[in-house]
Chain A
Amino acid sequence: MVQRYRIRWTKEARTRFISARDLTSVWERGLRRVDLPIAYSEGFTPHPKVSFPDALPVGFASTGEYAELTFAAPIVPDRDLARLSDTLPAGMDITTYLAVPDGAPKLARMLRATLWELVWPPVDVAELTTLLTRRCDELLAQERAEVVRHRPDGDRTIDVRPAVLALAASARPTAGGDACTVLRAVLRNDGPTVRPTDLHAALSHEDIAEPALYRRVAQGEPVDGGLREALSAAVVPLVPDVDAEAA
């Protein structure tokens, strides 16, 4: 009996440098190590039925990756997906799962928006947070926000504004006792693609450096004040309650 599961997983630490192309074999080998009955495609070069809704650029971190796994035989999801999580490289963890009933909407339709996070190094925190807050307000007040995306095959002008649902800059304490500036943004996934790097371009006015890290926090339905995460239905707030997170 075929069983499908949707999972949310992380791509943090060293694994953020694994390319989308190489991920397929990382998952396949992990599945084989714990001997889970993943289904395979037909044909002479069968591939395990593990599908990813979209690719994360190399170097981006994520706590909001998703995948759909199709098994050819029943598994015990609590136990077996935990075993799978354990055998994956450190930094890749399965954090939640959901069995997929027949007739369920496509995974991509459950991921209408993404909560992104841009993290700067622990410098200029107060000044940068203030500046970003002002730029965010300005951008939200505009009807258009065009940026030029530079690519090897030529420049392309993109309007960032339609994708932006919410923006907030804040200062966050770091493990080292400093603070750093964090920009969180909810971007729509269902229009023309706008990447968080485009958002940075729209806000930087060439006086804000590239963030040290881009992170995809979660994906799901946009709601007031954040995002309803696709698999757990829990609301992930746009501005996290730092004290609550620390607790």
Chain B
Amino acid sequence: MLGAAITRRVPATPAREPRRSVRVAGAAAVPPPSYWDALEPLLTRVRKPAQYVGGEHNQVARDWGAADTRWLLCYPDTYEVGQPNQGIQILYEVLNERPRTLAERAYAPWVDLEQLQREHGIPAFSLEHHRPLWAFDVFAVTLPHELGHTNLLNLLDLGAVPIHADARGVEDPVVLVGGHAAYNPEPLAPFIDAAVMGDGEEVTLEIDDVLAAWKRDHLDGDATPGPEARRDLLRRLADVEGVYVPAFYEPRYHDDGRLRQTVAVEPGAPALVPKRTVQDLEQWPYPRKQIVPMTETVHERFSVEIFRGCTRGCRFCQAGMITRPVRERRPETIQKLVEDGVRDTGFNEVGLLSLSSADHSAIGAVARDLADSYEGTTTSLSLPSTRVDAFNVTLSNELSRNGRRTGLTFAPEAGSERMRAVINKMVSEADLLRTAELAFSEGWRHIKLYFMVGLPTETDEDVLAIADLGIRTYEIARKHGRANKVTISVGGFIPKPHTPFQWCAQDPPEEIRRKLSLIRHAIKDHGGLKLRTNDPEEGVIEGLLARGDRRVAPVVERAWKLGARFDGWHEMPTLETWMQALEETGVDLDWFSSRERDEKEALPWDHLDSGLDKAWLWEDWQDAQADKELDDCRWSACYDCGVCPGLSIEHDTGYTGGFQLPVLPQGLGGGSQELPTAPERYASDG
């Protein structure tokens, strides 16, 4: 064979000791090799190669020698899923704005490229310069959920970094995790150096300072740092508020296997690690220079976080519990971020993000002003909100001025009034049906309803109420047009830490499957009503990792060794692999997942403080079981969940007088229809 590619000279991964020359601060560092030349010829052999090339608009590519500290920020899933993540983009920007700091990005390679990388000796790499993971000071990974754990181990291994924290030395990067799943990092405890809890903006910069100082003390100069240097770094990190170093804590168990307590065993390590909270979002108007992908991603739009936190108090919702209190961005700041961002990126869609965007105290004015600005243009606006009320329809009308009224999504979450009281989703059936009536009468053609099954205290009657609500909504849909559609989307509930449901039992997949088939059977005579479900088995791994303790860590490692990757992907069914890992490690899945905990049992995350008072959570759990609802403390009295006084902060919203609003929409929360609407615009829509 003539002209066959010569064996490429792939830069060798150095042994660990010599890596120090790459790690030192500033111009004294030897820049690590770029793996681009080795990677490029392989890219014609993999799916969606554009995800590996980098070079997007707003990428920041800095010289290695110009930085004293160097971060690799990672979302442990494919680029397609991870690129739009706001957390990574915020930190990428605030770190790269520092004169002596460099941050690059990495995502998980799909299995086809991973195999080629292992064959050819190409380590996990950054997108900007295709630099190897092992060369960076920090490998910082966001964990929005638990299904990236095996990818995290895989990236470390592929990046030539020991997967066990205690095997790492001064030459190795510090492995940090953040994001919602970092509120219980115990199943990852042996693999990470630290977990960072809460809002990342301030704490990340503090960690960067600690790192720069530590490098000056230990890496610069000729002296060879001893084994104590690494421990010194961990100690300095543990001194930063919000940083949890698992190596400094030990779980103690009862004889029957229940956790008694997790205790600090390192002098100076705090008994309780508090989360970090940014009080004033106005000081952090990021991300401004958002990456514009050159290949398809799950959300292609310019996104602005309009507020952080939520106090609706939905008992199943971890995000709502751990991100309290509510901090709003000012309407004029939102408008400016959107205008500058759309111009800078060229995106034709704007997303106004938060946990429940219709709850922003000035959302009516914000939506109207943006709709005015972009009326008649090709820029469209979207607002993820699943609130079930007329106000949401009105808002959606406003935001869809430039487009077609196709689908609206509402999330009643449960089918019966009783069940909604249990989960504290305060919406009545009458509300929902009225909202559906309004939506279809104003020309919307498709309503999607989100529900869960497997909620605590749930009976078959509650499950069947989902089908019933779907059918009633569908009847309204048909009345307004034969082509109108209703979809009910039903998922299995997974209890999460730091919520009132952290004590409850998770339904096993067989039970979820049975409940889904009850619904399927009940709606079978209503052809136009569609049911969408996930595979009930998908919740098994997530549930185990969500509430697991350190004894689950060997399962994660074993599952990864057995080949588990991309645990959330349909294309990669990994449950059997996990079952084998559970069996080999002797860990009892049911004990972790489908067992109800009692008040006295210590939880693996008790030493991690989300601000919520455990006694309050327990009380709320008791209220849930008594079908008792709880109001939103933004517009009614404080019920002492513990967050505000504990963090010495408060809600920062137009409701609480935190700022003066230019225009205050009337009757918020009560289903106002005060916004101007102009249905005649859509006359041609039929």
Structural contact, A44 and B50, CB atoms closer than 8 A: no
**Complex Cα–Cα for A77 and B44 (A):** 35
Structural contact, A26 and B44, CB atoms closer than 8 A: no
Structural contact, A28 and B346, CB atoms closer than 8 A: yes
**Complex Cα–Cα for A87 and B404 (A):** 31
Structural contact, B300 and A25, CB atoms closer than 8 A: yes
A73 adjacent to chain B (CB < 8 Å): no
Please name 13 pairs of A and B residues whose Cβ atoms are closer than 8 Å in the assembled complex, sorted by A. A17-B52, A22-B295, A22-B296, A28-B346, A29-B346, A31-B346, A32-B342, A32-B348, A45-B404, A58-B49, A59-B43, A181-B3, A209-B4
A217 adjacent to chain B (CB < 8 Å): no
A233 adjacent to chain B (CB < 8 Å): no
Structural contact, A123 and B55, CB atoms closer than 8 A: no
**Complex Cα–Cα for A131 and B1 (A):** 12
Structural contact, B6 and A121, CB atoms closer than 8 A: yes
**Complex Cα–Cα for A40 and B379 (A):** 12
Q: Within the complex, what minimum Cβ distance (angstroms) separates B17 from chain A?
A: 32
Q: Which of B5, B6, B403 contacts A44 (CB 8 A)?
A: B403
Structural contact, A209 and B50, CB atoms closer than 8 A: no
Q: Knowing A29-B292, A32-B348 touch, does A17 contact B53 (C-beta < 8 A)?
A: yes
- Fill in one digit per residue for A201-216: 1 if any B CB lies within 8 Å of its CB, else 0: 0000001110110000
- Fill in one digit per residue for B17-53: 1 if any A CB lies within 8 Å of its CB, else 0: 0000000000000000000000001011000111011
**Complex Cα–Cα for A31 and B464 (A):** 52
Tell me which residues from 32 to 78 in chain B have a Cβ below 8 Å from any Cβ of chain A.
41, 43-44, 48-50, 52-57
**Complex Cα–Cα for A120 and B4 (A):** 8
Structural contact, B403 and A30, CB atoms closer than 8 A: no
Tell me which residues from 433 to 469 in chain B have a Cβ below 8 Å from any Cβ of chain A.
none
Output the residue of B3, B44, B54, B294 with the most chain A CB within 10 A. B3
B347 adjacent to chain A (CB < 8 Å): yes
Cβ–Cβ < 8 Å partners of B343 in chain A = 33, 35
What band does the interface of chain B fall in when counting residues whose beta carbon is under 8 Å from A?
Answer: 20 to 34
Cβ–Cβ < 8 Å partners of B339 in chain A = none
Apart from A15-B294, A212-B5, list 6 A-B contacts with CB within 8 A: A29-B57, A29-B345, A32-B342, A58-B44, A59-B49, A208-B3
- Fill in one digit per residue for B362-399: 1 if any A CB lies within 8 Å of its CB, else 0: 00000000000000001000000000000000000000
Cβ–Cβ < 8 Å partners of A87 in chain B = 57, 346
Structural contact, A209 and B3, CB atoms closer than 8 A: yes
Q: Which of A35, A59, A89 contacts B56 (CB 8 A)?
A: A89
Structural contact, B4 and A14, CB atoms closer than 8 A: no
Output the residue of A14, A58, A91 with the most chain B CB within 10 A. A14
Q: Which partner residue on chain A sits nearest B55 by CB separation?
A: A14
Q: Knowing A17-B49, A18-B50, A89-B294 touch, does A33 contact B345 (C-beta < 8 A)?
A: yes
Q: Which partner residue on chain A sits nearest B684 by CB separation?
A: A44
Q: Within the complex, what minimum Cβ distance (angstroms) separates A87 from chain B?
A: 7
B606 adjacent to chain A (CB < 8 Å): no
**Complex Cα–Cα for A28 and B292 (A):** 12
A19 adjacent to chain B (CB < 8 Å): yes
**Complex Cα–Cα for A22 and B348 (A):** 15
Q: Which of A15, A59, A181, A208 contacts B1 (CB 8 A)?
A: A208
Q: Knowing A32-B346, A89-B294 touch, does A14 contact B53 (C-beta < 8 A)?
A: yes
Q: Which of B2, B5, B54 contacts A14 (CB 8 A)?
A: B54
Tell me which residues from 10 to 68 in chain A have a Cβ below 8 Å from any Cβ of chain B.
13-15, 17-19, 21-22, 25-26, 28-33, 35, 40, 44-46, 48, 58-59
B157 adjacent to chain A (CB < 8 Å): no
Q: Which partner residue on chain A sits nearest B48 by CB separation?
A: A19
**Complex Cα–Cα for A127 and B394 (A):** 73
**Complex Cα–Cα for A3 and B116 (A):** 48
Q: Knowing A14-B55, A29-B347, A44-B404 touch, does A21 contact B296 (C-beta < 8 A)?
A: yes
Q: Which partner residue on chain B sits nearest A60 by CB separation?
A: B44
Q: Which partner residue on chain B sits nearest A123 by CB separation?
A: B6
B344 adjacent to chain A (CB < 8 Å): yes
Cβ–Cβ < 8 Å partners of B346 in chain A = 28-33, 87
Cβ–Cβ < 8 Å partners of A30 in chain B = 346
A124 adjacent to chain B (CB < 8 Å): yes
Q: Within the complex, what minimum Cβ distance (angstroms) separates A110 from chain B?
A: 28
**Complex Cα–Cα for A21 and B48 (A):** 11
**Complex Cα–Cα for A33 and B348 (A):** 10
Chain B residues at the A interface, C-beta cutoff of 8 Å? 1-6, 41, 43-44, 48-50, 52-57, 292, 294-296, 300, 342-348, 378, 403-404
Cβ–Cβ < 8 Å partners of B296 in chain A = 21-22
A98 adjacent to chain B (CB < 8 Å): no
A111 adjacent to chain B (CB < 8 Å): no
Cβ–Cβ < 8 Å partners of A127 in chain B = 2
Q: Knowing A22-B50, A33-B345, A33-B346 touch, does A59 contact B44 (C-beta < 8 A)?
A: yes
Cβ–Cβ < 8 Å partners of B49 in chain A = 17, 58-59
A187 adjacent to chain B (CB < 8 Å): no
Q: Within the complex, what minimum Cβ distance (angstroms) separates A28 from chain B?
A: 7
Q: Within the complex, what minimum Cβ distance (angstroms) separates B387 from chain A?
A: 25
Cβ–Cβ < 8 Å partners of A211 in chain B = 3
Q: Within the complex, what minimum Cβ distance (angstroms) separates B107 from chain A?
A: 15
Cβ–Cβ < 8 Å partners of B54 in chain A = 14
**Which 9 A/B pairs are nearest by Cβ-Cβ distance?**
A29-B346, A32-B346, A59-B44, A120-B3, A209-B4, A14-B53, A33-B346, A17-B49, A44-B404
Structural contact, B2 and A131, CB atoms closer than 8 A: yes
**Complex Cα–Cα for A124 and B344 (A):** 48
**Complex Cα–Cα for A30 and B58 (A):** 12
**Complex Cα–Cα for A170 and B49 (A):** 30
**Complex Cα–Cα for A78 and B533 (A):** 55
**Complex Cα–Cα for A127 and B2 (A):** 8
Q: Which partner residue on chain A sits nearest B50 by CB separation?
A: A17
Q: Within the complex, what minimum Cβ distance (angstroms) separates A32 from chain B?
A: 4
Cβ–Cβ < 8 Å partners of B347 in chain A = 29, 32
Cβ–Cβ < 8 Å partners of A90 in chain B = 55
Cβ–Cβ < 8 Å partners of B404 in chain A = 44-45
A128 adjacent to chain B (CB < 8 Å): yes
**Complex Cα–Cα for A33 and B54 (A):** 19
Q: Which partner residue on chain B sits nearest A46 by CB separation?
A: B378
Q: Within the complex, what minimum Cβ distance (angstroms) separates B426 from chain A?
A: 35
Q: Which partner residue on chain A sits nearest B404 by CB separation?
A: A44
- Fill in one digit per residue for A154-179: 1 if any B CB lies within 8 Å of its CB, else 0: 00000000000000000000000000
**Complex Cα–Cα for A13 and B50 (A):** 11
Cβ–Cβ < 8 Å partners of A14 in chain B = 53-55
Q: Within the complex, what minimum Cβ distance (angstroms) separates B189 from chain A?
A: 39
Structural contact, B344 and A121, CB atoms closer than 8 A: no
Q: Which partner residue on chain B sits nearest A13 by CB separation?
A: B55
Q: Within the complex, what minimum Cβ distance (angstroms) separates B525 from chain A?
A: 33
**Complex Cα–Cα for A58 and B50 (A):** 9
Cβ–Cβ < 8 Å partners of A17 in chain B = 43, 49-50, 52-53
Output the residue of B1, B44, B54, B294 with the most chain A CB within 10 A. B294
Q: Within the complex, what minimum Cβ distance (angstroms) separates B278 from chain A?
A: 30
Q: Which of A46, A58, A207 contacts B2 (CB 8 A)?
A: A207
**Complex Cα–Cα for A213 and B290 (A):** 32
Q: Knowing A18-B294, A59-B43, A89-B56 touch, does A124 contact B3 (C-beta < 8 A)?
A: yes
Output the residue of B300, B344, B346 with the most chain A CB within 10 A. B346
Q: Which of B3, B294, B300, B348 contacts A121 (CB 8 A)?
A: B3
- Fill in one digit per residue for A107-127: 1 if any B CB lies within 8 Å of its CB, else 0: 000000000000011111001
Structural contact, A19 and B295, CB atoms closer than 8 A: yes
Q: Knowing A33-B343, A40-B378, A59-B49 touch, does A209 contact B1 (C-beta < 8 A)?
A: yes
Cβ–Cβ < 8 Å partners of A59 in chain B = 43-44, 49
Cβ–Cβ < 8 Å partners of A89 in chain B = 55-57, 294
Cβ–Cβ < 8 Å partners of A44 in chain B = 403-404
Cβ–Cβ < 8 Å partners of A124 in chain B = 2-3
**Complex Cα–Cα for A89 and B54 (A):** 10
Structural contact, A123 and B4, CB atoms closer than 8 A: yes
Structural contact, A207 and B294, CB atoms closer than 8 A: no
Q: Which partner residue on chain B sits nearest A48 by CB separation?
A: B378
**Complex Cα–Cα for A123 and B2 (A):** 8
**Complex Cα–Cα for A4 and B56 (A):** 28
